[in-house]
Amino acid sequence: MRAVVQNEFGGPEVLTLIEDAPVPDPIPTEVQVRVSHVGVNPVDGKTRGGASVAKLMGPFPITVGWDIAGEVSALGAGVNRFAVGDRVFGMPRFPYPAKGYAEYVTSPSRHLVRIPDSLDSATAASIPLPATTAYQIVHEAADVRSGQTVLVLGAGGTVGTYVVQMAKKLGATVIGHATGGKLKRLEVLGIDRVIDYASEEFDDPNLGGGPVSDVDVVIDLIGGQFALRAVPLTKWDGIVVGVPSGQQQGLDAAAAQAGVRWTNVIVEPDHVALDYVATLIENGEFHVPAPATAPLEDVVEVHRQMDDGRLPKTVLTLIP
């Protein structure tokens, strides 16, 4: 089968498309999926380069990619949740490898969910990892409640737009931090207030429209010093939730002093979370934009653009 492999960590050029990778067979409890589309996420690039979950990828050659959409092509013993031909999506095994940039993958059956009829496979492949992350942040780590104020740093990104929609759905007041065309998009999604980071600092006490203060929940999707800067804006016993990208220098002490809780989320495969999102999409209650698509053959260029920070949400196509 076709698969993208790499024999060392490095830049996009280490990614090589081969035609003769072995097709994996499902063990009991697993299904085999013929992948039509695989979503590209920041973790794919970080792992390719030797960071993030690279340590868990096993010996070379390795294959990155988690967000798969396709059709069940074989069932392992004991699997009853699916039949051959079902359209499914998911993020198998994360943070262990799913080997998603390939024509066939195997997955524990409970790491997959049926794709709603109304959803095309390319869009489906753009959803699992960012939407599951958002669910595990909003519904679990932060446990957002109606009436709370939620500040989302990096609100215009892929995870951010899911976070905003989930928090709004729970009845929270949501303040987002983004720039450019993403500001308008967040408004369309019903955000209560947006701060344009190109012209304003979210923690400026003289912020036009009034300073941000007394926030119940901060969700930091950027990393670095952002979470630390948000602590003084957070209520006593409020919570800061982050994705762990080099943040946390001094966060422990600042949070303890302010009486603020903080935690990190590392996403796990979760068919409950993905089913929740699938149902909202099917009911027209959740908006997911169509991603850009590129053929699997263009994987090196796609990763180049991701490294340069100019890649829109993109899905690699294996079966057009």
Closest CB to ligand NAP among residues 21, 159: 159
Concatenating the DSSP letter of every residue in 2-70 gives -EEEBSS--SGGG-EEES-PPPPPPPTTEEEEEEEEEE--HHHHHHHTT-TTGGGS-SSSB----EEEE
Q: Which one, 238 or 242, has the nearer CB to ligand NAP?
A: 242
Residue type, 154: G
Our CB check for ligand NAP shows the closer of 75 and 273 to be 273
Nearest to ligand NAP of 24, 49 (CB atom)? 49
Query: Is the Cβ of residue 183 or residue 254 nearer to ligand NAP in the bound state?
Result: 183
Q: How far is the CB of 74 from ligand NAP (least distance, A)?
A: 29
Smallest separation (angstroms) from ligand NAP to the CB of 59:
24
Tokens 């602590």 belong to residue: 231
Q: Is 7 left (phi over 0), alpha (psi -120 to 50) or beta?
A: alpha
The three-state secondary structure class of 188 is: helix
Closest approach of Cβ 130 to ligand NAP, in Å? 5
3-state SS assignment for residue 183:
helix
Identify which of residues 71 and 270 has a Cβ nearer to ligand NAP in the complex.
270
Helices (H), 70-225: 121-125, 128-135, 158-169, 181-188
> Is the Cβ of residue 82 or residue 94 nearer to ligand NAP in the bound state?
94
Q: Which residues pair with 74 in a beta bridge?
A: 32
Asked if 82 and 115 touch (Cβ cutoff 8 Å), the reply is: no
CB 152 within 8 A of CB 176: yes
Q: How far is the CB of 201 from ligand NAP (least distance, A)?
A: 10
- Distance of closest approach, residue 100 Cβ to ligand NAP, in angstroms: 15
Strand partners of residue 39 = 67, 315
User: In the bound complex, what is the minimum distance in angstroms from residue 32's beta carbon to ligand NAP?
Assistant: 26
> Which region holds residue 78: left if phi is over 0, alpha if psi is between -120 and 50, else beta?
left
Name the residues that contact ligand NAP, by CB under 6 A: 41-43, 129-130, 133, 154, 156-160, 178-180, 197, 221-222, 243-245, 265-267
**Residue among 21 and 175 whose Cβ is closer to ligand NAP:** 175
Facing residues of 315 across strands?
A: 39, 293
The residue sitting closest to ligand NAP, measured at its beta carbon, is: 157
Nearest distance from C-beta of residue 39 to ligand NAP, angstroms: 10
Smallest distance, Å, CB 132 to ligand NAP? 8
